[in-house]
């Protein structure tokens, strides 16, 4: 029973996710091209926090504004966490790319010298 509920909720979330603006933006931030925009995207937490404060103040009149304030707080936290997370991912990806470029340069240098990777040059035999 628990597995059915879990599968249905996951399917519902995944089908609705493509229509949610912050989820779309988060998906784009976590691509290789979007990683550099993670720290500036943290600034989007400010309008969300302001909207949460306004909705919390209006929540005394209607309970629905409290739900909306909770949604805005959640989105603000998503953007606050996304900044450092994407920065760490970007540093990791750039280090991996730098390592790959260095290995490629070493292989090209060995190829220019006539060596095959993994083999040693044989000493010349004297006759």
Express each pLDDT in 46-56 by its tens digit. Answer: 999 999 999 99
Distance between CA atoms of 48 and 82, rounded to whole angstroms?
14
Residue 59: helix, strand or coil by DSSP?
coil
In contact, 65 and 59? CB cutoff 8 Å? yes
* pLDDT grade for 105, boundaries at 50, 70 and 90: very high
**Domain residue ranges of the chain, discontinuous segments joined by +:** 21-113
Average pLDDT of 74-84?
94
Average pLDDT of 71-98?
94
């Amino acid at each position: 029973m628990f597995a059915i509920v879990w599968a249905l909720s996951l399917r519902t979330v995944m089908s609705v996710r493509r229509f949610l603006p912050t989820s779309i933006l988060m998906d784009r931030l976590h691509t290789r091209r979007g990683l550099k925009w993670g720290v500036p995207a943290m600034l989007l937490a400010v309008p969300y926090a302001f909207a949460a404060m306004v909705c919390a103040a209006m929540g005394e009149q209607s309970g629905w504004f409290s739900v909306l304030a909770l949604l805005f707080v959640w989105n603000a936290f998503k953007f606050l966490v996304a900044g450092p997370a994407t920065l760490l991912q970007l540093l990791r990806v750039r280090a991996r790319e730098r390592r790959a470029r260095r290995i490629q340069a070493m292989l090209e240098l060995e190829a220019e010298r006539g060596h095959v990777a993994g083999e040693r040059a044989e000493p010349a035999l004297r006759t």
